């Protein structure tokens, strides 16, 4: 595998099928979706990145304020902040975990935010119930801080996180 295959690139229309499979294999850490929902997310995203050439190893989707997105977590950030980038989902294949792909996607988002001067805050959420311990530790390590908590749906409580980008 070439090292360039493990660097973030823009998400392509040809990534949809592999991304859908990857996304749904990682539920409940990310919400399960169907193809039309994934196409909607990509169409309305601010930034969408992927890692992998022949095999999709990871991807992420972000939104700016004002997107036609009804996620309760996105809506929470929309009410609290006027200028932010919301990281809706980031998914890394099981076999490629702990190989810095998640960190590379976050770096790609942050670098693009700085280049575009689009927002001072990157936001996301992490599951507290059921707990996603690895994600909680990862976000703490890369500078995210909790700005709230909410029950997203029955049986699912999330920690709402934000990181200043400057």
At 74-109, the pLDDT tens digits run 999 999 999 999 999 999 999 998 899 999 999 999
Q: Which domain holds residue 81?
A: 3-164
Number of domains present in the structure of the chain: 1
- DSSP H helical ranges for the chain: 16-25, 35-44, 72-80, 101-116, 133-141
Residue 57 in this model has a pLDDT that exceeds 70:
yes
116-159 pLDDT tens trace: 998 999 999 999 998 889 889 999 999 999 999 999 888 889 99
Query: What's the confidence (pLDDT) of residue 3?
Result: 64
Q: Is residue 17 over pLDDT 60?
A: yes
Residue 1 has pLDDT above 70, yes or no: no
| 96 within 8 A of 58, measured Cβ to Cβ | yes
Rounded mean pLDDT of 15-23? Answer: 97
Q: What is the pLDDT of residue 29?
A: 76
Cβ atoms 56, 88 nearer than 8 A = no
Query: Looking at residue 43, what is its pLDDT?
Result: 97
Share of the chain above pLDDT 70, in %: 98
State the CATH number of the domain containing residue 96: 3.40.630.30
Give mean pLDDT, residues 29-41: 92
The whole-chain average pLDDT of the chain stands at: 94
Distance between CA atoms of 3 and 62, rounded to whole angstroms? 25
What pLDDT does 75 receive?
97
Residue 28, pLDDT > 90, answer no
Residues 15 and 10: their CA atoms lie apart, in Å, by 10
CB–CB of 61/16 below 8 Å? no
């Amino acid at each position: 595998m070439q090292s360039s295959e493990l660097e973030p690139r823009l998400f392509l229309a040809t990534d949809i099928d592999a991304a859908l499979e990857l996304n749904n294999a990682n539920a409940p850490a990310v919400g399960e979706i169907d193809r039309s929902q994934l196409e909607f997310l990509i169409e309305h995203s601010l930034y969408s990145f992927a890692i992998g050439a022949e095999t999709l190893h990871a991807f992420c989707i972000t939104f700016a304020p004002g997107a036609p997105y009804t996620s309760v977590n996105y809506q929470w950030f929309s009410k609290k902040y006027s200028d932010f980038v919301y990281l809706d989902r980031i998914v890394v294949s099981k076999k490629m975990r702990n190989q810095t792909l998640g960190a590379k996607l976050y770096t790609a988002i942050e670098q693009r935010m700085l280049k575009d001067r689009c927002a001072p805050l990157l936001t996301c959420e992490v599951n507290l119930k059921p707990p996603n311990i690895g994600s909680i530790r990862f976000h703490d390590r890369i500078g995210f801080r909790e700005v709230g908590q909410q029950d997203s749906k029955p049986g699912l409580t999330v920690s709402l996180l934000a990181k200043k980008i400057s």
